[in-house]
Chains A and B, each alone.
Chain A
Amino acid sequence: EAGVVQSPRYKIIEKKQPVAFWCNPISGHNTLYWYRQNLGQGPELLIRYENEEAVDDSQLPKDRFSAERLKGVDSTLKIQPAELGDSAVYLCASSLASSTDTQYFGPGTRLTVL
Chain B
Amino acid sequence: GDSVTQMEGPVTLSEEACLTINCTYTATGYPSLFWYVQYPGEGLQLLLKATKADDKGSNKGFEATYRKETTSFHLEKGSVQVSDSAVYFCALSDPVGGGADGLTFGKGTHLIIQP
Contact = CB atoms under 8 A, between A and B. Distances in A.
Given A44-B105, A48-B101, 20 more contacts: A4-B43, A35-B103, A40-B107, A40-B108, A42-B91, A42-B108, A43-B89, A43-B103, A56-B100, A56-B102, A91-B43, A93-B44, A98-B101, A99-B93, A99-B101, A100-B51, A100-B93, A102-B49, A104-B46, A105-B36
Contact of A102 (B4, B46, B100, B107): B46
Interface of A is mostly: loop
B24 interface: no
B108 A41 contact: yes
A59 interface: yes
Interface residues of A, number: 26
A55 B101 contact: yes
B45 interface: yes
Contact of B43 (A40, A98, A102, A107): A107
Nearest to A105: B44
Nearest to A104: B46
A104 B4 CA distance: 20
Interface of A: 4, 33, 35, 40-45, 48, 55-56, 58-59, 91, 93, 98-100, 102-108
| Interface pairs A-B: 9 shortest CB-CB | A42-B105, A45-B102, A105-B44, A107-B43, A100-B32, A105-B43, A99-B95, A56-B100, A45-B100
A59 B46 contact: no
Interface string B25-62: 00000001000100000111110010100000000000
A1 to B, nearest CB: 14
A108 B108 contact: no
